[in-house]
Amino acid sequence: MASIFNTVFMQNGKLVQYDDMLVKLASTEQSSSPPFNPYIIGGRLYKSAVIGNQEWLAENLDFKWDGLEVGAAAHDPTRQQANYYDQDEDTYGKTYGLLYNFKAMEYLQENRAKLIPGWRIPTYDEWLELLAFASGGSGQSNAGRSSLRSTDAGWPIQADGPATNTTGFSAVPSGRWYSSGGYEKAGSSFHMLTCSKTEAAHPESQLYIIPLLTPSYASYENAHPLSAGAEGSIRLIRDV
């Protein structure tokens, strides 16, 4: 097989160069959001955005690796599994990416050097750092919330006004899968997995899923522990 390292090709009219399985556009995109830095992960081109001292993927992960079960009929928290919302890739895959269970997220984090070199699963503290930057340090401002939401993902108008996405984070309302409710909340909330453990007060839960801009939560930095069988979106992070 021919090496793809240092290969140059055209993508959407722009010159793209592969670098160690990640690619970065040679030109800067112009938009109302900050410039995006596109990269290749697992053979797919993703946008990323530098926000403060962090660089985040600006899209939900849609990455499959050997051993990951995608579209399994039965949700099994003991196996690495991921699903498209409502198991409908054609409708939701491109915008929402995959919903991963905790087992899959743990495997990806443990094998990040091989599978996603240079990137990692964020911690809860890194999430709070993002929120603090977006809100100017307050963690609760309306401007901070709206600055994280994508402007073209169908978010409903909320109390903080329309999405502005001035940070470039581009959160989409990708919903979740939960053992007691099945697929739910697409179009209204974003649930992101972190690799931080829940407190001992929640022994039934393994890891955090963090609702972002969910109307039923007063605090958009709320870390909401869900059961081990839950599935949520993954965003990757790396240091600037």
- Residues 205, 87 share a domain: yes
Six token digits for residue 148: 């994280």
Per-residue tens of pLDDT for the chain, all 240 residues: 332 333 333 344 444 444 433 444 433 333 455 667 888 988 899 999 999 999 999 999 999 999 999 999 889 989 999 999 999 999 999 999 999 998 999 999 999 999 999 999 998 888 888 888 888 876 555 567 788 889 988 888 766 678 889 999 999 999 989 877 799 889 888 888 888 876 655 444 445 555 455 544 434 444 555 566 789 999 999 988
Do 29 and 138 lie in one domain? The reply is no
Residue 1 lies in a domain: no
Joined tokens for residue 136: 């100017």
The verdict on 44 and 75 lying in the same domain is no
Q: For residue 83, give its domain range.
A: 69-239
Please indicate, yes or no, whether residues 123 and 197 belong to a single structural domain of this protein: yes
Q: How far apart are CA 19 and CA 5, in angstroms?
A: 6
Residue 57 lies in a domain: no
Distance in angstroms (rounded) separating the CA atoms of residues 100 and 139:
27
CA-closest candidate to residue 52, choices 166, 200, 207, 196:
166
Both 204 and 130 in one domain: the answer is yes
Asked whether the beta carbons of 205 and 226 are under 8 A apart, the reply is yes
Amino acid occupying residue 158: Q
Q: What is the pTM of this model?
A: 0.80
Same domain, 134 and 44: no
**208 within domain boundaries:** yes
